[in-house]
Structure 1
Amino acid sequence: MTDLVLHEIRKTYGDNVVLDGFFATFPAGLCTCIMGPSGCGKTTLLRILLGLEIPDAGTVTGRPDRCSAVFQENRLFESFSALSNLSAVAKRGDKALLLQHLAELGLEESAHAPVSTLSGGMKRRVAIARAVLVPGELLVLDEPFTGLDRETKELVLSYVKRHTKGRTLVLVTHDPAERDALADQVIDMTPQ
């Protein structure tokens, strides 16, 4: 595993300059937290890290072949069960493991229910479990704990810490408590 490095990144949409000369190193195996006001380019930066957007200039080095993400939207298979959503990304034959992950997130009784019938917070936990279960070196989390009450958020933060040791995490959040719980380093994108 190598560090993920962005060098002189520039990204524009028409006349709107979102990133200009952006530099950052995301150390392998650690969690980097990105903070800043809405509209400062955090989500665009994540999309570049994942290879979903191409920068207009600059380089990205060290991006692993396999990445996973929790986007601001859950992006689940709504007609599938919670268990089936996890099965879509996990190794075959790991049903007991998948059920364990759901149980750790307080979703054991909802494992077989269609995701469309779950509450927003339950869907969020399924989306987080699915991203955690994708085998890969990079996990990108774009405001992943939005919509979770304080007690559930603590449960999920603990789950993420337990199951992502040794992986490179990039977390976007506005919440200092989430930053403090997970981050090894912080990048502040507040415009100067």
Structure 2
Amino acid sequence: MTLLSVETLTVSRGGLAVLEGLGFSLKAGRALVLRGPNGIGKTTLLRTLAGLQPPLAGKISMPPEAMAYGAHADGLKATLSVRENLAFWAAIYETDTVEAALDQMNLRALEHRAAMSLSAGQKRRLGLARLLVTGRPVWVLDEPTVSLDAASVALFAAAVRAHLASGGAALMATHIDLGLEEAEILDLAPFKARPPEEGGHRGAFDHDFDGAFL
């Protein structure tokens, strides 16, 4: 089953195309890692897929309410405990997976700690644990293992494998080896947009808009 399909997609940053003619599909049980140099448009692509900005051209197909998007920010409620943060999101998505999320991301010993008191790596683990309580099949993640030590990267990889085994899919932008040998690699370099012709510059705010997700 195909969970995400992208056809002849062009995405922009500041009104200018950064990637064009991009096409790929993501089936249930599969992981895809985006690669490319800094600035090529990995984050822009993920934001477009998440609905935070419109594409300049092309088509994105996905079942309704299928995506959970994890950006650079952890999106935590600072004054709530680890457990309370997960319970909040579980209530939003009407799931009952808080206990499993605590165990999978090794947060059980921290469950009563306020999020504001966690280290950067602990906050990242909690941010990733939010994915586990959404119940959504498509994970779209931007540098998901930033601030994580090797043991925590392994925890994350195990969580991704469990998600894939349950029929989910994952799209991740990262330069770090996650130990997911089964993941496919998509190099974005061939899709880098050509510079605009003189006089063809779009206004910097013609296409982008703010939004919220997750």
Please report the TM-score for the alignment, with normalisation by the length of structure 1: 0.87
Amino acid of the structure 2 residue aligned with 1:124: R
Match of 1:18 in 2: 18
Unaligned runs of 5+ in 1: none
Residue 109 (structure 1) shift: 1.8
Residue 132 (structure 1) shift: 2.0
Match of 2:53 in 1: 53
Pairs within 5 Å for 1:112-151: 112-151=112-151
Q: Distance in 1 between matches of 2:45 and 2:39?
A: 11
Match of 1:181 in 2: 180
Q: Distance in 1 between matches of 2:18 and 2:63?
A: 21
Pairs within 5 Å for 1:61-100: 61-90=61-90, 94=96, 97-100=97-100
Residue 139 (structure 1) shift: 0.8
Decide whether aligned partners of structure 1 residues 75 and 44 sit closer, same or farther in structure 2, where only a CA change above 3 A counts. Answer: same
Between the two proteins, the alignment pairs up a number of residues equal to: 188
Contact 2:124-2:145 within 8 A present in 1 as well: yes
Contact 1:83-1:98 within 8 A present in 2 as well: yes
Please report the TM-score for the alignment, with normalisation by the length of structure 2: 0.78
Contact 1:7-1:59 within 8 A present in 2 as well: yes
Match of 2:107 in 1: 107
Q: Distance in 2 between matches of 1:171 and 1:59?
A: 20
Q: Deviations over 1:17-43 (max 9, x none)?
A: 212222222223311111111111111
Match of 2:42 in 1: 42
Q: Distance in 1 between matches of 2:7 and 2:114?
A: 43
Amino acid of the structure 2 residue aligned with 1:7: E
Contact 1:50-1:67 within 8 A present in 2 as well: yes
SS of the counterpart of 1:158?
A: helix
Q: Distance in 2 between matches of 1:6 and 1:85?
A: 33
Question: In terms of Rg, which structure is larger?
Answer: 2
Match of 2:169 in 1: 168
Q: Deviations over 1:49-106 (max 9, x none)?
A: 2222210111112344232122111111111111111112225684xx5234213322
Contact 1:11-1:17 within 8 A present in 2 as well: yes
Q: Distance in 2 between matches of 1:140 and 1:4?
A: 10
Unaligned runs of 5+ in 2: 193-214
Q: What percent of counterpart residues are identical?
A: 31
Contact 1:32-1:183 within 8 A present in 2 as well: no
Amino acid of the structure 2 residue aligned with 1:66: A
Contact 2:7-2:59 within 8 A present in 1 as well: yes
Decide whether aligned partners of structure 1 residues 101 and 38 sit closer, same or farther in structure 2, where only a CA change above 3 A counts. Answer: same
Q: Deviations over 1:157-181 (max 9, x none)?
A: 2233224421121011102x21x41
